[in-house]
Chain A
Amino acid sequence: MSNITQKGSDEAEFAKPLYTPIKRRSFFMYAGATAGATALLLSGCDDDEGDVSNPTTTGTVNLGSGDVGVLNYAYALEQLEAAFYAQVIANFASGFSADERTALTAIARHEAIHRDFFKTAITGAAASQIIPGLTPNFSAVNFSDRGSVLATAKTFEDLGVAAYNGAGALIQNPAYLGIAGKIVSVEARHAAYIRDLISNGTFADNTTVDSNGLDKAMTVAQVLTAAQPFIRETINGSNVGK
């Protein structure tokens, strides 16, 4: 700040009004868009302190804080998706056409690539903070039933998109934001494909896109609540992005 004061407060007063109202105004606009997004924005606004004191107890996985926390968050979700599709393609339920099997196999490969991409990214950025491999719990999924497989795939893809959309504001390093952007649109393409398989034309219906044309965004807490039943370990994401 010191160089700013030296340059003169007139300039500071001149510039501030130009920039701040759009943030304030748009905040209220989005606050009305979804309650979930609002909660995220509020939590992302005011608390920058890192908290590394949370102990990792047996059976609990702490995603950590800051950008590494966001990367671990994405890594956890990609692990879940990759494990799910690996099981789907290992023994296809009856009723999947050859084209659908090819597409689901491609998705399984994309997710495995995303998973290991994050593993490499976190190892490079903070090797000591990477979360372990998680143990999936797919007991609620009937892998021999096409409907159960597709319903679960839709849940995971929509959840992944909403998670990335909600996490964008938590990311500090623009490079990680770019990476998230490269992946989330592929997840959205998956989500639309799976939705169209379930019911053609539901690729972007009003259960995921709101009246501003905005796709869903969810907070870390909301996403982990939805994902937790599919993971044996207890995931603690309370400091992600903080």
Chain B
Amino acid sequence: MDFLTLLARIADLSPATTFPSDVSARRTALTRLGQAGAAVLPPVLAALPSLADAKVLNNSTILDAIKLALTLEYLESEFYTRALALPNATTFFGSAENRNAIQTIATHENQHVALLQRLLTEAGAVIPAKPNFDFTGSKNGAQSALYPDVFTNLDTFLKVAQLLEDAGVRAYKGQVEFLVSDNYLLEAFVRTHSTEARHASHIRTMRRQRGAVVKSWVSPSDAAITTAGSTPDKAYAGEATTAQYTPGPRVVPFETTLPINVGDPLLNREALLAKVAEAFDEPVDAATATELAQLFIY
């Protein structure tokens, strides 16, 4: 066992021995380490319940999870804030209803940023600076834009919003397994996760009301907003899987003859499996989430 893994295990195995009187000393230690740099912090903060799990959970840590979440929340927060600040915002959004919905979402993203920053501060970690964002995807003009009219065409704006929200849901989902030993942080993440899912649903509803072929949930029947094989498409790659497992692992059968086939008419196998794909949202790992965020960071 290497030294850092050992530390990580100890960190996880000993929380019950914390006493209030130790807090100030621990905060001092945390602050020092926070200043020592990210290269030291992540492995030390890792919460790995066992050696076996340590292999599965590889390098991702609680601090990594919080930082990834903060990057995504910075991204979303900045995206909506810029749109709401457009000089022609009233025209851009077309209706008070649209604008209010975006304002509701923006408020939540700002709250998520503040919450994650507080978590980092309390842990004595340094808050990463907000990156530079270019929502056209041109990296500040260094390459051709993916979404050149993102702030001049509401349909493009909503497409990017859907991409960010759907990707955000998948990213949070991918991080929860690293938080299983910390119930408080875990609950913060799962509750943020379902807020993001509500946002994604509403953005999709807005797009559908404007004529797009899209469900309020991720469906194989949605008209694609990304090109297969492209980096943006990683927000959707794998979402259509119909293979779901329970521990064992055992694959769960989804057959037309089972009681899952409800409604009139009953569905054929292909149509039923499309409903199975809709019924489960899939996670993405930290590397994929980072790659998606990098589309808009320069």
Q: Do A and B come from one complex?
A: yes
| Pair A7/B111 contact, Cβ less than 8 Å | no
A37 to B1, alpha carbons, bound, how many Å? 37
- Assuming the contacts A18-B11, A24-B18, A214-B192, asked whether A204 and B199 have C-beta atoms less than 8 A apart, the reply is yes
A121 to B18, alpha carbons, bound, how many Å? 37
| Pair A169/B183 contact, Cβ less than 8 Å | yes
- Assuming the contacts A14-B7, A24-B23, asked whether A185 and B173 have C-beta atoms less than 8 A apart, the reply is yes
| Pair A11/B10 contact, Cβ less than 8 Å | yes
A41 to B279, alpha carbons, bound, how many Å? 29
**Residues of chain B lying within 8 A (CB to CB) of residue A193:** 201, 205, 216-217
A159-181: which have CB < 8 Å to B?
161, 164-166, 168-169, 171-179, 181
> At the interface, yes or no: B169 with Cβ under 8 Å from chain A?
yes
| Pair B29/A201 contact, Cβ less than 8 Å | no
- Assuming the contacts A7-B6, A164-B190, asked whether A211 and B111 have C-beta atoms less than 8 A apart, the reply is yes
Across the interface, name the chain A residue whose C-beta is closest to B281.
A185
> At the interface, yes or no: B82 with Cβ under 8 Å from chain A?
no
Interface size on B, residues (CB 8 A): 103
CB-CB contacts of A17-29 with B at 8 A, as 1s and 0s? 1111111111101
A188 to B267, alpha carbons, bound, how many Å? 25
A124 to B245, alpha carbons, bound, how many Å? 11
A172 to B180, alpha carbons, bound, how many Å? 7
CB distance from A220 to the nearest CB of B (A): 14
| Pair A204/B108 contact, Cβ less than 8 Å | yes
Interface residues of A (CB under 8 A from B): 1, 3-4, 7, 11-12, 14-27, 29-30, 37, 41, 44-45, 82, 86, 89, 103, 105-106, 108-110, 112-117, 120-121, 124-125, 161, 164-166, 168-169, 171-179, 181-193, 196, 200-201, 203-205, 208-209, 211-217
**Residues of chain A lying within 8 A (CB to CB) of residue B254:** 113
Task: Name the one of B62, B278, B283 contacting A181, with C-beta atoms under 8 angstroms.
Answer: B283
A213 to B267, alpha carbons, bound, how many Å? 39
| Pair B193/A181 contact, Cβ less than 8 Å | yes
What are 12 A-B contacts with C-beta separation under 8 Å? Answer: A15-B14, A106-B219, A106-B278, A113-B260, A117-B279, A165-B191, A168-B176, A179-B246, A181-B281, A192-B199, A215-B191, A215-B194
> At the interface, yes or no: B226 with Cβ under 8 Å from chain A?
no
Across the interface, name the chain B residue whose C-beta is closest to A206.
B104
